[in-house]
């Protein structure tokens, strides 16, 4: 991979619009977070940031494409715990490696996981849900965003805790999966909070529990999995910006500073918090901190997940 960008070019960066690949469908958590943050980053950088949704294979199609993009700062990707960690053990022939093929740019948001169901799904609380899933494992179906996506991996964790094997129904993102849940075409889903808050508040789906130690301020009435009697199920994902390996350090620094500025902006913070995201503090915002997070997450998920059959 050649680095065509000279230091002078890096200094003037950016002189044209930037493409931000989102590896899932529009309207899902990754897309929503990317749009909120890059909207502000574009003002700081003085160039537009164009979101390109590239779907398929749990986000790995787009991530492989981003890994091969020219490393000049004009193609970036918003990846997450799935594309940049859990996909490694799930896809033995993965066409990229999160650490070897990417420069970490900035962590954007932590996203707690919730157990959600269609509005008229019979179980009325987490305890009933657990009993129901155990008794009807082969009959129920769980929507997800493809093998290796956060929703897939989170429900795999839940399945292993409950020792059940429900039918998985893949979508190109949990934006469309959420539409199917609202429409009653699927039974339940393990999704990132960003996607769920508007629907829970509108009463179009039901939330059993949030898989974090504390309740979330955006959903004060949703009990934690511990409160609901399922303490083993703990899950929080994250979304972050990455650039192809070899993108010049001054460009990474500019992008990181623009992302950090966005995360300090009151309007951006309000929108992220309303959707239940956890905004990273200063220590977690550096490229180095994101690199360390990815490294740790690859190790963690590699110990938990087996290749998809």
Question: Rule CB under 6 A: which residues touch ligand MLT?
Answer: 24-25, 28-31, 80, 82, 145, 149-151, 173-175, 192
Q: What is the closest distance, in whole angstroms, from the C-beta atom of residue 15 to ligand MLT in the complex?
A: 30
Q: Which residues pair with 243 in a beta bridge?
A: 103
In angstroms, the Cα distances linking 243 to 77, 181, 279 are 6, 33, 21
Q: What is the closest distance, in whole angstroms, from the C-beta atom of residue 153 to ligand MLT in the complex?
A: 8
Measured CA to CA, the distance from residue 42 to residue 30 in angstroms comes to: 17
Q: What are phi and psi for residue 147, nearest 5 degrees?
A: -60, 125
Of 29 and 280, CB closest to ligand MLT: 29
Q: What is the closest distance, in whole angstroms, from the C-beta atom of residue 124 to ligand MLT in the complex?
A: 25
Q: What is the closest distance, in whole angstroms, from the C-beta atom of residue 194 to ligand MLT in the complex?
A: 8
Of 25 and 94, CB closest to ligand MLT: 25
Listing DSSP states for 136-167 in one string gives: HTTT-EEEESSTTSHHHHHHHHHHHHHT--PE
Q: What is the closest distance, in whole angstroms, from the C-beta atom of residue 10 to ligand MLT in the complex?
A: 30
Question: Any alpha helices (H) in the chain, and if so which ranges?
Answer: 7-12, 29-45, 60-68, 87-90, 126-136, 150-162, 174-182, 193-202, 249-264, 266-274, 287-304
Name residue, tokens 């990181």.
256
Of 170 and 291, CB closest to ligand MLT: 170
CB 180 within 8 A of CB 191: no
Q: What is the closest distance, in whole angstroms, from the C-beta atom of residue 257 to ligand MLT in the complex?
A: 25
Q: Which residue is nearest to ligand MLT (CB)?
A: 28
Of 27 and 246, CB closest to ligand MLT: 27
CB 69 within 8 A of CB 160: no
Of 14 and 146, CB closest to ligand MLT: 146
Of 28 and 112, CB closest to ligand MLT: 28
Measured CA to CA, the distance from residue 190 to residue 152 in angstroms comes to: 7
DSSP assigned state of 282: G
């Amino acid at each position: 991979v050649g680095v065509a960008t000279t230091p002078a070019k890096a200094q003037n960066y950016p002189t044209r619009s930037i493409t931000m690949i989102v590896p899932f469908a529009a309207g899902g958590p990754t897309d929503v977070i990317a749009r909120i943050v890059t909207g502000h980053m574009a003002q700081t950088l003085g160039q537009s940031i164009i979101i390109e949704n590239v779907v398929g294979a749990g986000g790995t199609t787009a991530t492989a494409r981003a890994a091969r993009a020219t490393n000049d700062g004009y193609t970036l990707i918003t990846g997450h715990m799935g594309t940049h960690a859990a996909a490694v053990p799930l896809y033995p022939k993965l066409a990229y490696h999160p650490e070897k093929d990417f420069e970490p740019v900035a962590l954007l948001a932590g996203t707690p996981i919730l157990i959600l169901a269609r509005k008229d799904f019979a179980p009325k609380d987490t305890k009933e849900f657990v009993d129901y899933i155990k008794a009807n494992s082969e009959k129920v179906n769980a929507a997800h965003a493809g093998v290796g996506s956060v929703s897939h991996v989170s429900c795999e964790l839940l399945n292993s805790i409950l020792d059940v094997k429900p039918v998985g129904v893949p979508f190109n993102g949990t934006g469309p999966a959420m539409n199917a849940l609202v429409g009653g075409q699927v039974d339940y889903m393990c999704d990132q909070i960003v996607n769920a808050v508007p629907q829970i508040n509108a009463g179009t789906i039901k939330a059993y529990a949030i898989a974090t130690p504390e309740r979330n301020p955006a959903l004060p009435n949703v009990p934690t999995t511990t409160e609901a009697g399922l303490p083993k199920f703990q899950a929080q994902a994250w979304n972050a910006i990455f650039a192809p390996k070899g993108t010049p350090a001054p460009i990474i620094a500019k992008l990181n500073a623009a992302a950090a500025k966005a995360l300090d902006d009151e309007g951006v913070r309000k929108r992220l918090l309303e959707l239940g995201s956890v905004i990273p503090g200063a220590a977690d915002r550096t490229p180095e901190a994101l690199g360390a997070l990815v490294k740790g997450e690859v190790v963690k998920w590699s110990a938990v997940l087996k290749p998809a059959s």
